[in-house]
Amino acid sequence: MSGINNLRRSIVLKRRPKGEPSAADFDIIEETIPNPDPGEVLTRTLWLSIDPYMRGRLREEQTYAAGVQIGEVMTGETVGRVMVSGDPRFHAGDFVVGARGWQTHTISQADQLTKISADAAPLSTYLGILGMPGATAYAGVTEICKPRQGETFVVSAASGAVGSVAGQLAKRAGARVVGIAGGAEKCLWAQDKLGFDDCVDHRSLDLQRELQTACPNGIDCYFENVGGAVQQAVFNLLNPFARVAMCGMVSQYNAQEFPPGPNLGFVVGKRVLIQGFIVTDRPERLTEWRAMAEPLVADGSLAYREDVIEGLENAPDALAGILDGRNFGKLLVRVAHEAD
């Protein structure tokens, strides 16, 4: 290796953002690509996933997972190609997925990587519909919401990586599916391509009334991705014995202080089940989901959409964008082309 090819670039945290993160909160450092020791694997990153949870890793206070320290490489899931392997389970040219961070090249212990095939589905889908976001939707729908034939299932951030899969799974279970998304284009896509029965724009002037019109029989299942005003409107329409999967509340991730909470007194009278979950609680479900969904993605039974940003250096802007609804579909950074 020589010249620029001999260097790896990494994005490290420079300071903790206040409010919306920006490129100024990160540094890009360059260093010689390290050689793997025995048991280690050197990979070149092809795809980097950008996910809302990353905002939590930038906070001083601990969330459900440890934060990134100042000067540390930013965390993130990647798809890469093996360049050099010091472990017999991997060979140069293999494609792998792992949580390897915002870097052009990574050194990993072999057990931090999972081999994937480029034949089953596009490599990028292992960060979206066939990866952590897809498994999140699967867990929330099947373990908490459990939609039944004829019930009304509502999902927010409906055109996003998690929401788009959650709604399709509820549809397959026979529910009437209503999405909530930001803007007419996202709503149209949710109906045309994902097969949702209806979709409401959360920026509309009267979200409550529009949601009520879309859900004339109330709401039996809610897959919560955003919180805030959307949550309030949905909660007003929950039916007795409704199930709420608390997946995330992206509308609050940039907040310095959280707004006063809602009055949840109705939860008792309506016997509503509200349950939070984290996809990594049961890692075996990712493997289960992947095996189940691979053929459905390959034959087009499950639809997905990707929003691709070019270049590792644009990852901080991409993160700011996903927290602000600028992405349309699963947000990815292409770090290198697969053919390079």
Among 169, 238, 250, 332, binds ligand NDP (CB under 6 A): 250
Nearest alpha-carbon partner for 48 in 316, 324, 302: 316
CB of 29 to ligand NDP, least distance (A): 27
Does 309 help bind ligand NDP (rule: CB under 6 A)? no
Among 221, 251, 305, 320, binds ligand NDP (CB under 6 A): 251
Does 198 help bind ligand NDP (rule: CB under 6 A)? no
CA distance 197 to 214: 9
Does 214 help bind ligand NDP (rule: CB under 6 A)? no
- Nearer to ligand NDP by Cβ, of 247 and 309: the residue is 247
Render the burial of 295-317: b for 16+ CB within 10 Å, e for the rest: ebbeeeebbbbbbebeebbebbb
CA distance 257 to 323: 16
The tokens 């980097």 sit on which residue? 48
Residues 6+ apart with CB under 8 A from 333: 47, 48, 50, 308, 309, 310, 311, 312, 314, 315, 318
- Nearer to ligand NDP by Cβ, of 36 and 329: the residue is 329
Does 162 help bind ligand NDP (rule: CB under 6 A)? yes
Span interacting with ligand NDP, options 71-79, 101-109, 242-250, 292-300, rule CB under 6 A? 242-250
Do residues 147 and 176 make contact, with C-beta atoms less than 8 angstroms apart?
no
- Nearer to ligand NDP by Cβ, of 244 and 250: the residue is 250
Span interacting with ligand NDP, options 6-14, 15-23, 45-53, 297-305, rule CB under 6 A? 45-53
Do residues 78 and 85 make contact, with C-beta atoms less than 8 angstroms apart?
no
CB of 163 to ligand NDP, least distance (A): 5
Span interacting with ligand NDP, options 37-45, 117-125, 153-161, 236-244, rule CB under 6 A? 153-161
Does 58 help bind ligand NDP (rule: CB under 6 A)? no
H/E element holding 321?
helix 315-322
| Cα 337 to the center of its chain, rounded Å | 22
DSSP string for residues in 242-258: EEEEE---GGGTT-SSP
Among 74, 170, 221, 230, binds ligand NDP (CB under 6 A): 230
Do residues 195 and 168 make contact, with C-beta atoms less than 8 angstroms apart?
yes
Span interacting with ligand NDP, options 3-11, 49-57, 107-115, 295-303, rule CB under 6 A? 49-57
- Nearer to ligand NDP by Cβ, of 30 and 281: the residue is 281
Among 248, 293, 303, 319, binds ligand NDP (CB under 6 A): 248
Residues 6+ apart with CB under 8 A from 98: 77, 78, 80, 106, 108, 112, 113, 114
- Nearer to ligand NDP by Cβ, of 11 and 137: the residue is 137
Per CB under 6 A, residues contacting ligand NDP are 51-53, 133, 136, 157, 159-163, 181-182, 186, 202, 225-226, 228, 230, 247-248, 250-251, 277-279, 322-323, 325, 327, 331
